[in-house]
Amino acid sequence: CITIKINLCFPSIPYSLKTLSIDGHFDFEQVEHAAKDFGNRYSYLPLAVLYPKSVSDIATTVNHVWQIGGGSELKVAARGHGHSLQGQAQAHRGVVINMESLKGLKMQVHTGNFPYVDVSGGELWINILRESLKHGLAPKSWTDYLHLTVGGTLSNAGISGQAFWHGPQISNVYQLEVVTGKGEVVNCSEKQNSDLFYSVLGGLGQFGIITRARISLEPAPEMVKWIRMVYTDFATFTRDQEKLISGQSTFDYVEGFVIINRTGLLNNWRSSFNPQDPLQASQFKSDGRTLFCLELAKYFNHEDMVLANQEIKTSLSQLNHIPSTLFISEVPYMEFLDRVHISEIKLRSRGLWEVPHPWLNLFIPKSKIHSFAQEVFGNILTDTSSGPILIYPVNKSKWDNRTSVVIPEEDVFYLVAFLSSAVPSSTGNDGLEQILIRNKRILDFCEIAGLGVKQYLPHFSTQGEWKSHFGPHWEAFIRRKSTYDPSAILAPGQRIFQKPIAYS
Ligand code: FAD
């Protein structure tokens, strides 16, 4: 019904797109893949997919959509690697721009005192790593998984265990080239068009399309000492994590994860990690208890190995983990950063990658992490988790409050990421429905207990929910939206955001 209605109202949209003079092309037939994402739960068919060959292809298309006007309700969504969880890179009956085909810009690494690399917005982080390593350099801040695009992670934040020190990826960008909602191509940075620069960073793809980015680099280490250790007591675990992220830590990466109802876990680690005390480690029994694993990494070059080992030994001696659970591994830097891809290959081979992923990512203020843990790990998730649960603190001082990302108000806050995979068509605890029920229980608890939690990679259905997500930043969001994407502003009272959030 809706299709017919829209087609009757705007019969000429596909035709008008076909008349645009562009270097790339539109596909109006093979569009199904653009209605999929990693979350595997939302599917919105677009009208067309644009395969741009140049920035001007994107500018021409967006300008055309702007000229048609907001009344057409034609949405445009940039699609990076499509690893969104809830349709964020999809455009229902709109135009999806396939950013990975924007290969016009060759990656350019600039060495010197402040090294950086200029990349296309559709470039994968794994390719940036490979290219910059040829010059002995690498970006400073990462995500755990590198097969994501620059535009995709910069539209959110981009965080991993380096964020406590370097801030998220959005704190490590010098300059952007953006196609705004009017189809203008604008360069922006801290000094030039700074409002657009900060709007787009963490801006959920709402203010413009990132076509190019200048990413800050640092000398790349050769090797990584990768360390894991276990805690039974949550307070001791978080105290150590917070100690490690405050001041000058010897470690370059601090993360952690929760282990729920697993037996023989430490034995599994043995394939890649060495227990420091093999006999004691083999006698450690988890007995189904909830445990907390601290994960650390220290970068080093071969010639500095002795010094690195000494520093690690001193730092570890100040931590309060269970001594027999200390495991250390030594891997090349590239292997450490690309670690999740190894799991991806294994999961794909077992048909377990393309399943529904009802992930829930939360930012939790430090002062509330204990109440959160008590209820969530003590009550809601006592016997199952359906996937990894990451938990690590970051320093707010490393986040720029001019960006669009929404974070809690405290100096230290935690990322808690429930990275669940649902077993297709299961109605049990591992099925989608039960995982969504657990997610809702967690969110309801946060709301009722007034924990001041913010969602990362957010997705909401109503304007009220978005308003409450942005809180005091809502007015700034509206102002930025009306400045950079004016055709998207609807009459008062109407919903700006629709499912999926698309840049319209
Ligand atoms: P897409 O899903 O294609 O797009 C995401 C959003 O960005 C959409 O709103 C889209 O319209 C917009 N967008 C895409 N390109 C552009 C552009 N060029 N300009 C403007 N807007 C654009 N995140 C972390 O922070 N840390 C992690 O450790 C982490 N690990 C992950 C591991 C896995 C296995 C997966 C699947 C995701 C992980 N994420 C992590 C989340 C990830 O950062 C986001 O889902 C990200 O958006 C995915 O990038 P993408 O290129 O696939 O973007």
pLDDT digits (tens, 9 = 90+) for 191-229: 999 999 999 999 999 999 999 999 999 999 999 999 999
**Ligand 1 atom with least separation from CA of 149:** 51
Look up 100 and say whether it is catalytic: no
Look up 409 and say whether it is catalytic: no
**198 with 254, same domain?**
no
Per-residue DSSP letters for 320-388?
-S-GGG-EEEEEEHHHHHTHHHHHHHHHHHTT-SSS----EEEEEEGGGHHHHHHHIIIIISSS--SS-
pLDDT at 301 over 70: yes
Among 197, 219, 241, where does a domain finish?
219
- Give tens-digit pLDDT for 198-208: 999 999 999 99
Number of domains the chain contains:
2
Tell which phi-psi region holds residue 112, choosing left (phi > 0), alpha (psi between -120 and 50) or beta.
Answer: left
Task: Give residue 70's pLDDT.
Answer: 67
Q: Is residue 38 part of a domain?
A: no
Rounded Cα distance between 91 and 77, Å, is 6
Task: Give residue 14's pLDDT.
Answer: 76
Q: Which residue's alpha carbon is nearest to atom 18 within ligand 1?
A: 151
**190 with 297, same domain?**
no
Q: Is residue 83 part of a domain?
A: no
**174 with 235, same domain?**
no
**415 with 304, same domain?**
yes
In contact, 432 and 420? CB cutoff 8 Å:
no
Q: Which residue's alpha carbon is nearest to atom 12 within ligand 1?
A: 205
Work out the average pLDDT over 49-54: 97
Task: Give residue 382's pLDDT.
Answer: 80
**Ligand 1 atom with least separation from CA of 81:** 52
Q: Is residue 297 part of a domain?
A: yes
CATH number at residue 433: 3.40.462.10
CA of 415 to the centre of ligand 1 (A): 16
Task: Give residue 140's pLDDT.
Answer: 98
**Ligand 1 atom with least separation from CA of 456:** 25
**pTM for this entry:** 0.95
Please state whether beta strands 253-259 and 185-189 pair in parallel, antiparallel, or not at all (unpaired): unpaired
Q: How many CB atoms lie within 10 A of CB 242?
A: 17
CA of 158 to the centre of ligand 1 (A): 8
**236 with 323, same domain?**
yes
Q: Cα-atom radius of gyration of the chain, to the nearest Å?
A: 23
Q: Is residue 481 part of a domain?
A: no
CATH number at residue 188: 3.30.465.10
- The range of the structural domain enclosing residue 136 comes to 108-219
User: Of the residues 177, 255, 338, 485, which is catalytic?
Assistant: 255
**269 with 371, same domain?**
yes
User: Of the residues 144, 242, 311, 410, which is catalytic?
Assistant: 144
**297 with 322, same domain?**
yes
**199 with 335, same domain?**
no
**264 with 375, same domain?**
yes
Task: Give residue 196's pLDDT.
Answer: 98
Look up 303 and say whether it is catalytic: no
**288 with 304, same domain?**
yes
Task: Give residue 104's pLDDT.
Answer: 62
Among 198, 219, 240, where does a domain finish?
219
Task: Give residue 11's pLDDT.
Answer: 54
Q: Which residue's alpha carbon is nearest to atom 6 within ligand 1?
A: 152
Work out the average pLDDT over 433-449: 97
pLDDT at 496 over 80: no
Among 152, 187, 219, where does a domain finish?
219
pLDDT at 2 over 70: no
- Give tens-digit pLDDT for 340-389: 999 999 999 999 999 999 999 999 999 999 999 999 999 999 877 789 99
- Give tens-digit pLDDT for 56-81: 999 999 999 888 876 777 889 999 99
CA of 152 to the centre of ligand 1 (A): 4
* Pocket of ligand 1 from Cβ distances under 6 Å: 37-38, 77-84, 88-89, 99, 121, 143-145, 148-149, 151-153, 155-160, 204-205, 209-210, 340, 457
Task: Give residue 489's pLDDT.
Answer: 54
Question: Which three-class secondary structure state does DSSP give residue 244?
Answer: helix
**163 with 232, same domain?**
no
Which residues have a Cβ under 8 Å from the Cβ of 452 and sit 6 or more positions away? 365, 368, 408, 409, 410
Q: Which residue's alpha carbon is nearest to atom 14 within ligand 1?
A: 152
Name the residue of 119, 156, 201 to mutate for ligand 1: max ligand atoms within 8 A of Cβ.
Answer: 156
**440 with 408, same domain?**
yes
Q: Is residue 341 part of a domain?
A: yes
Q: Is residue 244 part of a domain?
A: yes
**Ligand 1 atom with least separation from CA of 38:** 36
- Give tens-digit pLDDT for 235-282: 999 999 999 999 777 999 999 999 997 777 777 787 788 888 888 888
**Ligand 1 atom with least separation from CA of 78:** 11
Name the residue of 155, 206, 403 to mutate for ligand 1: max ligand atoms within 8 A of Cβ.
Answer: 155
Work out the average pLDDT over 90-107: 88
